[in-house]
Amino acid sequence: MIQAMVWKEYREHRAIWLTLAVVSAAGLLGVQKLMAPGGVMASTGTRESLQAVAALLAWTYGLVCGSMLLANERETATLDFLDMLPVRRLQLWTVKCIFGLVLFLAQVAVLTVVVVGLDIASTPLEMTVTVLAMLLFGLLGMAWGLLFSARGENVLNVIGLAIVGQIAGIAVVAMVLSLLAIGMELALHVAFHGPASSFPWIAVSCLGGIVVTVGPIAGSARLFSRVDRQRGLRVKAPVRRQRPKRIAWASWGRLIWLSYLQMRRMVLVLVIFSLGLGFLLPAAGPVAWPILTLIIGVLCGVTVFGDEQMHGSFRFLGDQRFPLGRVWLVKASMRFALAVFAAFLLLLPSLILVIFHRMQAPSFEQQRVPFFGEVLHSVLVGTVVPAWAHLGMWLIYGFTAAHLCGLLFRKSMVAGVVSLGAAATLVSVWVPSLLGIGLHFWQIAGVPLILLATAWLLMPAWAGDRLVARGTFERVGVGLAGVVLWTVGGLWYRVAEIPDVPDGFDLAEFRASIPPPEKNDAGMTIREAWTFAETLTRALGGARARRPLFPDLHPEDTSLLAQIGDVRQRGWPEGPSDLSDWLDQHFEQKDMTECLCLLCQAADYPVGVVEFNKDMTFDQRLDRWRKAFAFNQLLAVRALQLQSRGDPAAFVEYLRMGLAVSRNLQHFAPIEIAHFGRAAEDVWPPALDHWLRRLDGPADEVGEQLKRVQAVLREHEEKLPDESEIRKMARLIASNSLDQIPEKMLEFGVEHRAKEDSQLHRAELEAASLMWRMPWERERHHRILRVSFEGDNRQRRQAREWGGPMLGGFGPREDRIPRGNRYFARWHASQLMVALRRYQAKTGKLPATLDALVPVYLPAIPTDPFDQKPFRYRLSQGEKIGWFEEAEAAGAVPGGMQQAGGAAPPAQAGMPGLFNPPPPPPTRFVPAGEGILWSVGEDLHDDGGVQLGKLPSLTNFGEDIIYLVPPPRG
């Protein structure tokens, strides 16, 4: 029997074997003549190319041989005869495989002789590698030929399927094992803290070779010997109690098997389609995923009952009273599972690349990019677009619409075209909401469920060939009405979900109240002067001195910027310095003189707007005003320099100019510019402190100068813009960013996440901005903005969920808008200091109480903004008060005012403990006759002004905010 089988295989294969042997030898010879015309190998690359050709020829014969071994029996109709012989199919498969292996080895031997004769492998090592390559590739081709030959009926068809299946199978195995290798490499790196090892890749490569070779061979044996297992089945006597269960499980199994048989070719097509296009997905950009998954869903949905429609077997289902619900559930579920699997394969190459890239370069910036946004090559997915919706929405809509159309239309081509248009229409309605932030799952899931329910209700009429009936039109009509109502209701809920909180002011009226350029004298003048101011601050940035100003502070830092900070801390020093020369050089230039004249004019005008654009948006650059603090520092230092030269009156003018710049920066300004203006204010309280310490001269002149300073401080407080303007301006900017140029706002929040600013990303952002202009999305976004600004605390927290990082965070930060009680306490204390010094210049001493200042020196005693009571004051009797220098440096004393009195004693060394008690709190001695002002602070408890608060923004029990009145010089 075995001899007969061997003889039969020999007669069938000898012609093919001989033909391919001749073709292989001639092919190698021809390629060699083409690549090495003289017969001499010109380079190693030529030899390697010919060796690769030899391996390819071995693979070709292995593929042809494996395909012929089994499929040829069906093609020649001899398999039924073989089944009647007293031999099992597994034995038959074994004999055929052994004979095929012998033929393959003989073919490899012929190729080896040709390789040696043509001197393709010059060394034993090259020869060994070439022979091994021919064996491995040939076995690979033979294995996949055997797999498809086990069920094939035509050799040529089997060869084609084996080629395609081999490519797809190797690709899938390579991707899966690559993930395994990456995981192993990461695990070894974490476990041993060593460099990357090549062992995981070597191990996985060997495993992959075994899987793609042994796997198809084992699958071929199992498929071909299926008849053996069926022959061995024994029918047992049925047990009546278990009969319903066995029949039920058997019917489910038959349905699954039937569905598999109908879709197996489509599985192969979709696997190739998905894997092939998956490698092109990165180049296609964010649009590729919706289009491809929609097509996959349509293909799978149309073919759920495609075979029944084409062959008319749907009537058999109805005539035989099959459980239509069960049939529908199994076939629809398996096709949908196939669609999901195909979509996963489409995503798999990008998924592997992103995981590998993140493992190789796990930087902070990389982690900021949303994972699925990088996988889908989109700048919106994960930030604006929810990843789960973008991944599944297109596939689900395509499948459900195509499934319904596949029942209604007998011809699959017509059903496919109609369903593709219907699915695209239905899903496009939700695209604005998908890009508009805050889409819920139930909103997009309702339509597919209605379509599925409609298809299920049509099953009896479809199986009975009664679709052209009144009931069908009623069911389809109800389903379409449900789709329309669900869609309209979902879009309505998009708007109604957000509370309609009204604005706290008239936005149009506020926009109209912003002064235009022709009525904005102060703002226009400051803008004109700011060109010179920027030039001056820019020159300061790189200027350096030859010697330090205060050697004990910064002995090695000779930058003029640091020296200006030292002057702000200690006042202007005696004697010449490089800083003094630099100030003289720049402030006496014509441009700076013109700048100071312009600022003097701006101080006389009503408060204006430095950024007067009513259509200001988030993308506009405001960095030029960041120099306001540095420029005011220069003004203050210059004023103190002129005072040291006998011109204390210059300080008043410089103070007036600096405060004018500050309040104009806070008028109708965004939060950023307003903070620049407040930073500019912080310069003047410590400067005023140094000026008061050094102020001397005739009492009348001193009193007049102090009176002018009082007027400047009072004018500044009276003209300070209302804090509500900052909130209103933030609201106006948010509205402008949403209504007029939403693409700019999208770039502001999203484009920095993109790896590159490509044309596809740009088009994606422009499409998103267009979708935001849809009426329902526009109204929803306006409501989110109003809630962010005017809602209560709970609504504002919800606004962050409704609007995400794009809209939910546009509301103003409440901790940044109010100036705070410490701000006003600082300026009230400054006014009291100047008034007290006026009284002292007039009478020669400070008053015992603040009541003595009213009404000659002050119209009323300024209040403590914390408890709205008059400011506290007392004359020192020669006392020590708790004084934390580090708290003062950190800003616990607003404005960083320099205080009179001795320095705090150093803290005791050592750690506190049982034998080393904690050091006493630092103190400052205030000589008798000096004034002490204090505010109760955040704890609202008057502790007598004997302990300065340790924290820069909070006072506890026993602490107050303390200001010491600078005594006159001498």
Q: Please, how many CA atoms are within 13 Å of residue 241, restricted to the half-sphere of its CB?
A: 0
pLDDT of 348 reads 86
381/411: higher pLDDT: 381
pLDDT of 30 reads 67
| Confidence at 894, pLDDT banded by 50, 70, 90 | very low
* CB of 418 closer than 8 Å to CB of 788: no
**Position 908 pLDDT exceeds 50:** no
pLDDT of 199 reads 59
Percent of the chain with pLDDT over 90: 24
pLDDT of 557 reads 63
> What residue type is assigned to position 247 of the chain?
I
**Position 888 pLDDT exceeds 60:** no
| Confidence at 944, pLDDT banded by 50, 70, 90 | very high
Mean pLDDT lowest among 354-363, 402-411, 681-690, 763-772: 354-363
Mean pLDDT over residues 692-712, rounded? Answer: 92
Closest CA to 965 of 922, 901, 903, 884: 901
| Confidence at 449, pLDDT banded by 50, 70, 90 | very high
| Confidence at 197, pLDDT banded by 50, 70, 90 | low
**H and E: helices and strands count for the chain:** 38, 7
Secondary structure (DSSP) of 809-836: T-SPPTTTS---HHHHHHHHHHHHHHHH
pLDDT of 25 reads 80
Alpha carbon distance 786, 788 (integer Å):
5
Partners of 931 in the beta sheet?
Answer: 875
Mean pLDDT over residues 511-539, rounded? Answer: 89
Alpha carbon distance 170, 166 (integer Å):
6
φ, ψ of residue 819 to 5 degrees: the values are -75, -30
**Position 887 pLDDT exceeds 60:** no
Tokens of 884: 């934390």
Tokens of 470: 């009144």
**Position 432 pLDDT exceeds 60:** yes
| Confidence at 605, pLDDT banded by 50, 70, 90 | very high
Alpha carbon distance 309, 465 (integer Å):
11
**Position 902 pLDDT exceeds 50:** no
Strand extents, DSSP E, 580-663:
none
211 Cβ contact partners less than 8 Å away, ≥ 6 residues apart: 173, 177
**Position 766 pLDDT exceeds 90:** no
Q: Average pLDDT of the chain? A: 79
Per residue in 568-580, pLDDT (tens digit) is 888 898 888 888 9
Alpha carbon distance 62, 141 (integer Å):
5
Tokens of 522: 């102060």
Alpha carbon distance 70, 753 (integer Å):
56
pLDDT of 934 reads 95
315/687: higher pLDDT: 687
Mean pLDDT over residues 24-31, rounded? Answer: 73
Per residue in 106-115, pLDDT (tens digit) is 888 888 888 8
Mean pLDDT lowest among 466-475, 602-611, 834-843: 466-475
Q: Is 170 left (phi over 0), alpha (psi -120 to 50) or beta?
A: alpha
Mean pLDDT over residues 703-730, rounded? Answer: 89
* CB of 781 closer than 8 Å to CB of 807: yes
pLDDT of 914 reads 39
Q: Is the dihedral of CA 863, 868, 870, 873 positive or negative?
A: negative
Report DSSP state, residue 851.
Answer: G
Mean pLDDT over residues 538-563, rounded? Answer: 79
**Position 643 pLDDT exceeds 60:** yes
* CB of 970 closer than 8 Å to CB of 693: no
φ, ψ of residue 381 to 5 degrees: the values are -65, 130
pLDDT of 224 reads 76
Closest CA to 145 of 100, 112, 110: 100
pLDDT of 526 reads 92
Question: Within 542-627, where are the H helices?
Answer: 560-570, 578-587, 590-604
